[in-house]
Structure 1
Amino acid sequence: MSLSSRSARLRKWFNRRGWIKITIATPYIWLALFFLLPFIIVMAMSFATRTPTAPPFSFGGDHPVMNTDHYARLFSDDLYIRAYLNSIGNATLATLMCLMIGYPMALGLTRVSRSWRNVLLMLVILPFWTSFLLRVYAWMGLMGTNSWFNKLLTGAYNWIVPSDMALRYIPMMNTGFAVVLVTVYSYLPFMILPLYANLEKLDISLNEAAMDLGSKPFQVFRDVTLPLSVPGIIAGSLLVFIPASGELIIPSLVGSSSRPMIGRVISDEFASARDWPMASAVAVALLLLLVVPLMIYTYYDGKAHEKAQKEAT
């Protein structure tokens, strides 16, 4: 086959199906290169053995196939158990607080005029224009013992409680409260934006019809708005809960070493302890802990949608 005929066939393929196939294949190639391949490397490393070499792991020796001791330590070492529980607990609390704060804000965004809506949406995403690390440092200054924020809260607390229970300052830094507070501040936009995208699509005439039939505003919200906004709630909760579970910067800067979170444990295992296989095992277990329930939910949710479509037809 001549070069000109090959070029003609190639141009013909691009003109018909080539660009469509390339467009469809691009995200899959991206996921394979930057998610699947690194995950396979980390998983393989989790079955290696720690060595004093560079890199600090190897395969073979006493465990010629794979070393599962690291996964056994996850269930026997108190450090990892407490880290997982602290991470899941803090992430759950932060997600619930983001939902409680973000839902009214997202609902309010759908009720204002279009001009004000654009301004308020810009204010929601405005924190992203500033460095994440800089914002955490700002909260460290606010929660310091001599900051105006701490003095304001201390004054309010001392005004409420009896004089014998008065405090010089409220200890906020290096506590679980500080981790949850900064996490809520950092991830609140990730809750507001999916909720707004969902609530903005709802048909307002459904609320009007319910009120015409005698429902009170709270009943309209409970029976109409809230059920229809469940997809937005789930999307926002996942966008907050998953990164908050593996957060590293926030617990490292404002958290306490007595209440370790799993992101900091992984970092310490890689950097300080130089135990790459153990760190990889912790990371793989965290990923499975977050992804497997999501996959199960997606599977059953898809089954429920298929069942509802069959019943509708």
Structure 2
Amino acid sequence: MAISRRQARWLLLGPAGLWYAALLVLPLALVLVYSFGERGAVGGYQPAFTLAQYANLGSRWTAFQNTLILAPAGTIAALLIAYPLAYYLALRVGAQWRTLLIVLVIVPFWTSILIRSYAWIFLLGGRGIPQLLSSMGLGDFRLINTPFAVLVGIVYGYLPLMFFPIYVSLEKLDRRLLEAAGDLGAPPWRSFLQVTLPLSLPGVATGSMLVFILLMGEYLIPQMLGGGKVFFVGNALVDLFLQSRNWAFGSAMAVTLVAVMLLVVTLYMRFLRRIGAARDDVGLM
């Protein structure tokens, strides 16, 4: 019996759709329902319909503030480091060295993020970089358990996720466009701004969104390098669900975080459309 195109589409999308509904839509719906409830007498969840949990979000404003400041800052810092590195490897390094250098970028992923965070605890602790700076007469510095330590940790941990989308965009760049720009008298900086950068923006956007979305829910790095003094929404959620057992308030915070992410994704989609228009303009030059 022949299968129509529509039936074939449903057969292909059905398993993935069921998986998506079971592991994403239903848990989010459950969290949304919990967010309108109340904390039980011994913790957990008590059915109700109230907006009190959302009205109480201000009590955890510090967690939102740290997340909304350090997540974009970490994304921008990773971008500023990853883009020159990707540009150099994609357009300036010969093929015989490129593979080796890319492997060196991947090497940190071969080690657990937990071990890497412990390494940064030592480097930023009293016997690490601060002691070295003090021995050089540069004064006493406290680096561990500060926003700077958390920023260093998230940039180090998420740099490869920013690097590879940008590298792929630059590696696929048609070198003839750069040659044409040079033949038309454009200096290198102008060729970069008008040709290389616009054509690599999809990779920049992809890497930035990957890093930013993951940082919004980050828990381990702030917990270890922040020492309980610099905590994200993820740390607050762990406290509310596992320690305070205030599932209703924790659900309200989670729903708010998801709403922020939906807003970011919406802006991201608009940004992609502008990128497409910019690429078309470059193609018409």
TM-score by length of 2: 0.88
Q: Describe the shift of the 1:206–1:31 C-alpha distance in structure 2 as closer, same or farther (beyond 3 A).
A: same
Q: CA deviation at 1:52?
A: 2.7
Q: Describe the shift of the 1:126–1:25 C-alpha distance in structure 2 as closer, same or farther (beyond 3 A).
A: farther
Does structure 1 residue 97 correspond to structure 2 residue 77?
Answer: yes
Does structure 1 residue 204 correspond to structure 2 residue 187?
Answer: no
Output aligned runs, 1:1-313, within 5 Å: 9=1, 13=3, 21-53=10-42, 56-60=44-48, 66-74=49-57, 76-77=58-59, 80-111=60-91, 112-147=93-128, 149-155=129-135, 158=137, 166-167=139-140, 170-298=141-269, 301-302=272-273
Dislocated runs of 4+, deviation >6 Å: 16-19
CA distance in 1, matches of 2:185, 2:123: 48
Secondary structure of the 1:185 match is helix
Q: CA deviation at 1:255?
A: 0.6
Q: Describe the shift of the 1:117–1:27 C-alpha distance in structure 2 as closer, same or farther (beyond 3 A).
A: farther
Secondary structure of the 1:58 match is coil
Q: CA deviation at 1:47?
A: 1.2
Contact 2:201/2:275 (<8 A) preserved: no
Q: CA deviation at 1:200?
A: 1.2
Q: CA deviation at 1:290?
A: 1.4
Q: CA deviation at 1:38?
A: 1.1
Give the count of matched residue pairs.
Answer: 280
Read off the aligned partner of 2:113 and give its amino acid letter: F
Q: CA deviation at 1:113?
A: 2.5
Q: CA deviation at 1:84?
A: 0.9
Read off the aligned partner of 2:104 and give its amino acid letter: L
CA distance in 1, matches of 2:177, 2:149: 41
CA distance in 1, matches of 2:120, 2:276: 44
Q: Describe the shift of the 1:190–1:212 C-alpha distance in structure 2 as closer, same or farther (beyond 3 A).
A: same
Contact 1:91/1:244 (<8 A) preserved: yes
What is the alpha-carbon root mean square deviation over aligned residues?
Answer: 2.6
Q: CA deviation at 1:248?
A: 0.6
Q: CA deviation at 1:150?
A: 3.3
Flag structure 2 segments of 5+ consecutive residues without an equivalent.
none
CA distance in 2, matches of 1:291, 1:262: 16
Q: CA deviation at 1:305?
A: 5.3
Identity %: 36
| Structure with larger Rg | 1
Q: Describe the shift of the 1:129–1:114 C-alpha distance in structure 2 as closer, same or farther (beyond 3 A).
A: same
Flag structure 1 segments of 5+ consecutive residues without an equivalent.
1-8, 61-65, 160-165
Q: 1:70-94 CA distances to partner (integer Å, 9 max, x unpaired)?
A: 01111x42xx222111111111111
TM-score by length of 1: 0.81
